[in-house]
């Protein structure tokens, strides 16, 4: 048998229902993986592109800067 508690109307507290009070907003951990030279070399080989070390370093810096910029805007 369930217990029931009887209250007077003066003891009841009325508040508006705010849905956000019941939702737990936890920011998910985001890890940014930096692009490595080996990734770019593998991609260049797969696409049959000519490359040298200077081009690989330039592409690596460019891609990592772009990823950082996108992450900051979020």
Per-position b or e across 2-33, b if 16+ CB within 10 A of its CB: eeeeeeeeeeeeeeeeeeeeeeeeeeeeeeee
| Average pLDDT over every residue of 45-73 | 91
Task: Give tens-digit pLDDT for 12-48.
Answer: 888 898 888 887 776 666 677 889 999 999 999 999 9
Size (the chain), residues = 74
| Average pLDDT over every residue of 4-11 | 86
Asked whether the whole model's pTM tops 0.85, one would answer: no
Nearest to 34 by CA among 67, 8, 9, 7: 67
Q: What is the mean pLDDT of the chain?
A: 86
């Amino acid at each position: 048998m369930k217990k029931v508690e009887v209250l007077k109307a003066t003891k009841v507290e009325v508040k508006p229902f705010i849905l956000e009070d019941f939702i737990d907003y936890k920011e998910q951990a985001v890890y940014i993986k930096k692009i490595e030279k080996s990734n770019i070399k593998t991609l260049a080989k797969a696409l049959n592109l000519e490359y040298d070390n200077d081009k690989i370093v330039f592409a690596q810096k460019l891609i990592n800067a772009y990823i950082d910029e996108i992450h900051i805007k979020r």
